[in-house]
Amino acid sequence: MVNQSIIISSLSSLLLFSLLLTTACAQLRQDFYKNTCPNVESLVTSAVTKKFQQTFVTAPATLRLFFHDCFVRGCDASVLLASGPSGTMEKDHPDDISLAGDGFDTVIKAKAALDADPNCKNKVSCADILALATRDVVALTGGPSYKVELGRRDGRISTIASVQRRLPHPDFGLDQLNSMFASNGLSQTDMIALSGAHSIGFSHCGKFSKRIYNFSPKTRIDPSLNPNYALQLRQMCPLKVDPRIAINMDPNTPQILDNVYYQNLQQGKGLFGSDQILHEDQRSKPTVDLFASSNSAFQQAFVTAITKLGRVGVLTGNQGEIRRDCAAVN
């Protein structure tokens, strides 16, 4: 009887979560700003393209910023809120400190472009700006073009505690990855497709040094790592390397968002353990092999996954606000 009550309670919670998610998603739509800021897409795209032309880092930084925002408190731009003297905001957490400044600057530049248009000034949420900017950097790096659902509101809360155990780590196994993504309504296929963003990513040496120097008492190098690639990584990341040094996550096409990332996994060239496990585990290997053989299959799955990501925990209507300054609540 007790077990039955627990099952009923769990089902009720799941149904409530699904209902809330469906309700929020129903309020998002592609033409949300049709009457209030009709030029929103072209204005954001222009600003993002200009920023991208100044530095390629714009692309991976913006894409990662969007992911980190959505996985913590939902896609509400809470990660953009500036930290104060107490250092207790989301961006102060160790998992967020490495977020590149160019991602934040991309949103600031796009917001300024919108505010320069009298029709759009303080009409578009920072959460929507980040979602649109993410779409733009995906296209600018050779990834798929897709429509963005809009109508998010900005959150008013950002805490360092809310980041804890909400973001994947480089040493995660498949079960840990699936569990974390499932808690955000994302499937294993979604997770594998979104991992393809590492195609244009970069990482500091400390995030993977254990794999090439101190994997286990029996073997210093992770056996799932391509031996030649491991030696290359050692050359780029010597033991006492400057902690600011970062290397490309895709050694072949680091500035193109494509399926070469998955071909690298087939060759044992996944930089993180959480990358390589996608090919090593038989449950996820078929999807990796599919994406490796077909860039169109990867792109289609990526669009599905990033659209679902953009719906996670969104605030709509009067649940949040439209910030006048993306780094501060109104």
What are 114-122's contacts with CB under 8 Å, separation 24+? 114/37, 114/40, 114/43, 114/44, 117/37, 117/39, 117/43, 119/36, 119/37, 119/38, 119/39, 120/33, 120/36, 120/37, 120/39, 120/40, 120/43, 122/322, 122/324
Is pLDDT of 3 > 80?
no
Q: Cβ(125)–Cβ(154) under 8 Å?
A: yes
Across the chain, mean pLDDT equals 93
Is pLDDT of 23 > 80?
no
- Residue 87's Cβ-side half-sphere holds a number of Cα atoms within 13 Å equal to 5
Mean pLDDT score, 141-150: 98
Is pLDDT of 15 > 70?
no
- Looking at per-residue pLDDT, the higher value among 24 and 175 belongs to 175
Mean pLDDT score, 35-45: 97
Q: Is 318 exposed, middle or buried (0-12, 13-18, 19+ CB in 10 A)?
A: exposed
What pLDDT does residue 223 have? Answer: 97
> Which amino acid belongs to residue 87?
G
What pLDDT does residue 86 have? Answer: 78
**142 torsion bin: left (phi>0), alpha (psi -120 to 50), beta (else):** left
What pLDDT does residue 202 have? Answer: 95
Is pLDDT of 199 > 60?
yes
- Looking at per-residue pLDDT, the higher value among 202 and 18 belongs to 202
Q: What is the pLDDT of residues 234-263, one digit of tens each?
A: 999 999 999 889 999 999 999 999 999 999
Q: How far apart are CA 290 and CA 294, in angstroms?
A: 6
Mean pLDDT score, 180-209: 97
Alpha carbon separation from 316 to 27, 40, 327 (Å, rounded)? 7, 18, 19
Q: What is the pLDDT of residues 266-305, one digit of tens each?
A: 999 999 999 999 999 999 999 999 999 999 999 999 999 9
Q: How many CB atoms lie within 10 A of CB 31?
A: 12
Q: What is the pLDDT of residues 83-93, one digit of tens each?
A: 877 789 999 99
What pLDDT does residue 85 have? Answer: 78
Q: How confident is the model at residue 169 (pLDDT cuts 50, 70, 90)?
A: very high
Burial 77-98 (b: 16+ CB within 10 A, else e): bbbbbebeeeeebbbbbebbee
> Which amino acid belongs to residue 7?
I
Q: How far apart are CA 305 and CA 319, in angstroms?
A: 25
Catalytic residue positions, numbered: 68
What pLDDT does residue 163 have? Answer: 94
Q: Cβ(222)–Cβ(229) under 8 Å?
A: no
Mean pLDDT score, 8-21: 48
Burial 224-239 (b: 16+ CB within 10 A, else e): ebbeebbeebbeebee
Is pLDDT of 19 > 70?
no
What pLDDT does residue 244 have? Answer: 86
**222 torsion bin: left (phi>0), alpha (psi -120 to 50), beta (else):** beta
Q: How confident is the model at residue 11 (pLDDT cuts 50, 70, 90)?
A: very low
Q: What is the pLDDT of residues 87-140, one digit of tens each?
A: 899 999 998 988 999 999 999 999 999 999 999 999 999 999 999 999 999 999
Measured in whole angstroms, the distance separating CA 82 from the mean position of its chain's CA atoms is: 19
Q: What is the pLDDT of residues 45-61, one digit of tens each?
A: 999 999 999 999 999 99
What pLDDT does residue 24 have? Answer: 56
Is pLDDT of 203 > 60?
yes
